[in-house]
């Protein structure tokens, strides 16, 4: 197990280096820092001095890969690649283009993101598995047909409409909850309810359908037939035999996305103006703050890889047949 973990962590490095190279190429080689400076300072009537000053302020005035002007290791470290990309490996995100400390921002903003994403995931899981179980219980009836059709209809509606409709109905017309905003501490609850409910409803269509296929696959298996043959009722079969076995792929799927919950949801957070990492990213994109976008790309890839490792580990925990070598 330990050996496996160490190997996975070592394996993660080439991937992260790859991610870094891709983002570096996207951000610095396609468009040199001069173009970025011109973009930030406004397109026209920008003097060379202004560009140089901007580059110096934000640390973009160094060569890309190799600094011939310095001596020793500084030849490699005093470059944009080292300063802006390699340092991410130490989780030193540096300062954003507007001068704020990105690391501190991320630590502060991940909690609101989590406060929305975690309940949405867990409650959504409960709702979706219950609906899927119901559909499987009533299989080959009109109820199932109606349910599956309903799922397809729900799936065909854009997430934007769920959010807009939720805000309009519960926030504006019924005035049950505030339309948007956030507060620290327990006062946040009234702001969290609506995004969570909207998130769950938006996920019902695809989630229920997906879990239903997992359950149906399990229902066809031999051990289920055996359970029925020895006289168990359909409810007992479903809850005692089908549910635990079908939960294996569901749970491992959930584990894979658990770390990514920190990143928050771009849409939900910006619609409900929640100060999480999702809206942080959106703001960075619209302000064209490349430093933040780069940091978030790196963070996202790290969390994705952590998710993959966690999935493997959780497989060994729930399914004793799987062994990691």
Partner 1 sequence: MNLVILWTDALLFALMLCLASLVWASYRLEHLRRPWRRVIRSRPAMVAAVILLAFSATGLVDSIHFRQGNNGEVSSLLDRWLTPFRTRVEKTYSAPLATHLYSRQFLQLPDGRTVWTRPRLKFAGAHLDDPQDKWSDIARIALTGAGKGLAVWLGLFVFVAMARKGRPPETLPWITVALTAAVLITGTCALYALNLEYHVFGTDKVGEDVLYQSIKSIRTGLVLGTLTTLVMLPFAIGLGVLAGYFRGWVDDLIQYLYTTLNSIPGVLLIAAAILMIQVYMATHADRFTSLAVRADLRLFFLCLILGITSWTGLCRLLRAETLKLREMEYVQAARALGVGHFRILLRHIVPNLFHIVLISVVLDFSGLVLAEAVLSYVNIGVDPTTYSWGNMINSARLELARDPIVWWTLAAAFLFMFTFVLAANLFSDAVRDAFDPRRVED
For residue 265, give every residue at least 6 positions away whose Cβ sits within 8 Å of its Cβ, in sequence order, or none: 113, 116, 117, 120, 199, 278
- Picking from 24, 92, 4, the residue whose alpha carbon sits closest to that of residue 308 is 4
- Residue 47, SS3 per DSSP: coil
257 vs 318, which CB is nearer to partner 1?
257
Residue 153 and residue 226 in contact, taking contact as beta carbons nearer than 8 Å: no
Gap between the Cα atoms of 137 and 112, Å rounded: 38
Q: Return d(Cα 257, Cα 261) in angstroms, integer.
A: 7
- Report if residue 26 touches partner 1, rule: CB under 8 A: yes
Taking CB under 8 A as the criterion, the residue among 46, 127, 282, 310 binding partner 1 is 282
Interface map 289-308 toward partner 1 (x if CB under 8 A):
-x--x--xx--xx--xx---
Tell me the site size for partner 1, rule CB under 8 A.
Answer: 46
Question: Is the sign of the CA dihedral 8, 11, 16, 19 positive or negative?
Answer: negative
- The vertex-260 CA angle with 254 and 265, nearest 5°, equals 105
Q: Looking at beta carbons only, is 68 or 220 nearer to partner 1?
A: 220
Instruction: State the Cα–Cα distance between residues 94 and 80, nearest whole angstrom.
Output: 13
| Gyration radius from the chain CA atoms | 25
Does residue number 35 form part of the binding site for partner 1 (CB under 8 A)? yes
> Which region, judged by CB under 8 A, interacts with partner 1, from 69-77, 106-114, 161-169, 245-253?
161-169
18 touches partner 1 (CB under 8 A): yes
Question: Which of 164, 176, 189, 317 is close enough to bind partner 1 by CB under 8 A?
Answer: 164
Binding mask 61-100 for partner 1 (x = CB under 8 A): ----------------------------------------
Complex with partner 1: residue 251 or 266, whichever CB lies closer: 266
**What phi, psi does 95 have (nearest 5°)?**
-105, 150
- Judged by CB under 8 A, which stretch of 64-72, 121-129, 261-269, 316-324 contacts partner 1? 261-269
Q: Which residues bind partner 1 (CB under 8 A)?
A: 14-15, 18-19, 22-23, 26-27, 30-31, 35-36, 38-39, 43, 152-153, 155-161, 164, 167-168, 172, 260, 263, 266-267, 270, 281-282, 285-286, 288, 290, 293, 296-297, 300-301, 304-305
């Amino acid at each position: 197990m330990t050996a496996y973990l160490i190997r996975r962590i070592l394996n993660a490095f080439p991937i992260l280096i790859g991610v870094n190279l891709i983002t570096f190429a996207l951000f610095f080689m396609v468009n040199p820092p001069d173009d970025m400076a011109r973009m930030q300072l406004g397109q026209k009537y920008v003097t060379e001095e202004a560009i140089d000053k901007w580059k110096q302020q934000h640390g973009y005035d160094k060569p890309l890969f190799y600094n011939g002007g310095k001596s020793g290791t500084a030849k490699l470290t005093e470059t944009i690649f080292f300063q802006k990309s390699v340092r991410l490996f130490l989780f030193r995100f540096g300062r954003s283009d507007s001068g704020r400390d990105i690391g501190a921002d991320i630590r502060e903003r991940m909690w609101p993101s989590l406060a929305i994403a975690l309940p949405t995931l867990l409650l959504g899981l409960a709702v979706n598995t219950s609906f899927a179980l119901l559909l499987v219980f009533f299989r080959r009836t009109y109820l199932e047909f109606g349910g599956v059709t309903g799922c397809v209809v729900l799936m065909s509606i854009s997430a934007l409409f769920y959010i807009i409709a939720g805000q309009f109905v519960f926030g504006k017309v019924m005035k049950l909850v505030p339309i948007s905003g956030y507060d620290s501490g327990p006062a946040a609850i009234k702001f969290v309810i609506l995004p969570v409910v909207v998130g769950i409803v938006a996920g019902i269509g695809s989630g229920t359908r997906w879990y239903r296929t997992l359950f149906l696959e399990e229902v066809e298996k031999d051990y289920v037939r055996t359970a029925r043959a020895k006289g168990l009722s359909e409810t007992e079969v479903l809850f005692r035999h089908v549910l635990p076995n079908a939960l294996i792929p569901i749970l491992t799927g959930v584990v894979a996305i658990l770390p990514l919950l920190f990143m928050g949801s771009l849409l939900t957070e910006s619609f409900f103006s929640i100060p999480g990492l999702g809206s942080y990213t959106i703001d960075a994109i619209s302000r064209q703050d490349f430093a933040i976008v780069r940091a978030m790309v790196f963070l996202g890839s790290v969390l994705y890889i952590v998710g993959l490792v966690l999935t493997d580990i959780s497989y060994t925990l729930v399914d004793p047949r799987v062994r990691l070598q």
